[in-house]
Structure 1
């Protein structure tokens, strides 16, 4: 048997491997790679409509409970990894349906804490995934601005339907998208 004939099985394996390299490269850019490059996303909302039962720490009104359910429904297919709400009843009640639907606890954060420090802690704690944050009309714009490093519009006391979506990218500046959910509120 000649030398080439003896080496033929090895040469065939070598060429087969060369043909498979493009397929292996395609696998490297599949879902696992996309998940690794997916941004850390913060969904930031104000608490839903409040009742007049307690001037210091009110519950949600019937409209507020409906809005909290609408938020949970909107986030039904979103893979939440954490849910944060301030120490007040109305924020926790707003977050509760979405947290329950995802099997997550509602973690408290201090409403009057510096927005920049809170945002930095969340970014340090979470590197990827989607985080729901429920705050107040006077705290949501500062939190959004701290999370995205951009300007956020002030929030009127009567505005309950704003959803601020902040995407923190590893390779470029964060982005902000503002949407609405539930029943429209007066502006």
Structure 2
């Protein structure tokens, strides 16, 4: 009888120890970027230029150590091509979203669908600041048509205020 009680206590201790790291790691990071440089091959839906393809690879290298669990891009070629190298490196499929979808609704959907890991979101110069602002609840400066390589990371830890960092890649 004592042995079974001892084993039950050990199992309880082990299950508590195993569950504790999951509670601490309950955070999600949203990485939001504008698509990379576009080519002049199609005025309505251009692909990436050589420089844009290199920037997309640079983004993938920048995110190589991140636990990417999802990648989102608008329906346009340039955003999908920007997301693809990072998505491929992490074995995830690029999920399309409508570029005209309101930023607040997209942010709510992203927060609802992802509670942990890193989520890549690729948008446009006129949508990225609004998406970031909706995710962090803060003001974000507009992007110029010539701005490329801005990376916004919004980190949400359970019960904490979202934190925004801005870097270049």
Q: What is the RMSD computed on CA atoms of the aligned residues?
A: 2.0
Q: Per-residue CA shift, 1:149-181, capped at 9, x if unaligned?
A: 111111111111100000122212111100110
Match of 2:139 among 132, 135, 151: 151
The TM-score with structure 2 as length reference comes to 0.88
Structure 2 counterparts to residues 173-184 of structure 1, below 5 A: 173-181=161-169
Question: 1:128 aligned to 2:116?
Answer: yes
Number of residue-to-residue matches in the alignment: 161
Instruction: Report the equivalent of 2:151.
Output: 163
Gaps of 5+ in 1: 1-9, 182-187
Instruction: Report the equivalent of 2:22.
Output: 32
Q: Per-residue CA shift, 1:123-167, capped at 9, x if unaligned?
A: 111111110000000000000000111111111111111000001
Larger radius of gyration: 1
Gaps of 5+ in 2: none
Instruction: Report the equivalent of 2:127.
Output: 139
- 1:76 aligns to what SS in structure 2? coil
Instruction: Report the equivalent of 1:85.
Output: 73
Q: Per-residue CA shift, 1:97-123, capped at 9, x if unaligned?
A: 000111110000000111001110111
User: Relative contact order (alpha carbons < 8 A, sep ≥ 6): 1 or 2 greater?
Assistant: 2
